[in-house]
Structure 1
C-alpha cells in the first residue's frame, strides 16, 4: 500500500505562501505537472547569490532537498540556462524562485517542505 503524498502543485503553493508571509518573494518560473512533477528551487538571499535545490528520495523513502552544484560561483545566467535546459527535457518539472531575507529563513522553508 502506498502512502499518500502531497501534490507538486500543493507543495509549490505552500512554499509560495510561507515565503510571502515572512516578507519574501516567490516567483513561479515554470509550471510543471500538477500532480507529480519534480521541483527545482532557486533560492536567493535579498536578490543575490542564487543557489539551486532539488528534492531527491532519501534512504527511508522521504524526499529531502539537496543543493545542485553548477560551479563555485554560479551566476544568474548559468542558473537560468540550467533550469531552462531541464524544463525542455522534462516539461513536467516545476521551477520556483524564492527570495528571502536570510540563509536561515531559506533553510527553514526547505526543512518545512521535507
Structure 2
C-alpha cells in the first residue's frame, strides 16, 4: 500500500520550531533552542518563562482529532531547577531526537499552542 494521497502534509519539527522562534521574536520575546532534535519528526518540548521565571514545561502531543495539543509535563516550577535538569536528562536518554525550546515572553504557553499545534 502506498501513502494516502489525501493525507494532509505535516510540517517538520524544524519548521515548527523556526516558526515559534520567529513569532516570539516578533513580539519582543526571546526564544532559543536548548536541544536540537530530529529535523523531521522529533518531539518538541517547550520550556516557558516570563521575565526569567520558569512557568512550565509543555510537550506537543497528538490529539484524538488527528492534530496536536500542548500538554503540561515534567516537574512543577516550584520543584526547582535541579528537578527540571534531571527530568530533561531522563527524557533525552529515552528520546535522543527530542527538541527542547525555551521561550521567555509574556503568555509563552499561548505562543507555543498557537504555533505548534
Runs of 4+ displaced beyond 4 Å: none
Normalised by the size of structure 1, how large is the TM-score? Answer: 0.88
User: Match of 1:112?
Assistant: 114
User: Deviation digits for residues 58-94 of structure 1, max 9, x if unmatched?
Assistant: 1111101011152472322211221122112211000
Other structure's SS at 2:17 match: helix
Give the paired residue count: 111
CA distance in 2, matches of 1:41, 1:11: 12
Tell me if the contact between 2:74 and 2:87 (Cα under 8 Å) persists in the aligned partners: no
Larger Rg belongs to: 2
RMSD: 1.6
CA distance in 1, matches of 2:77, 2:67: 28
Mark the runs of 5 or more structure 1 residues left unpaired by the alignment: none
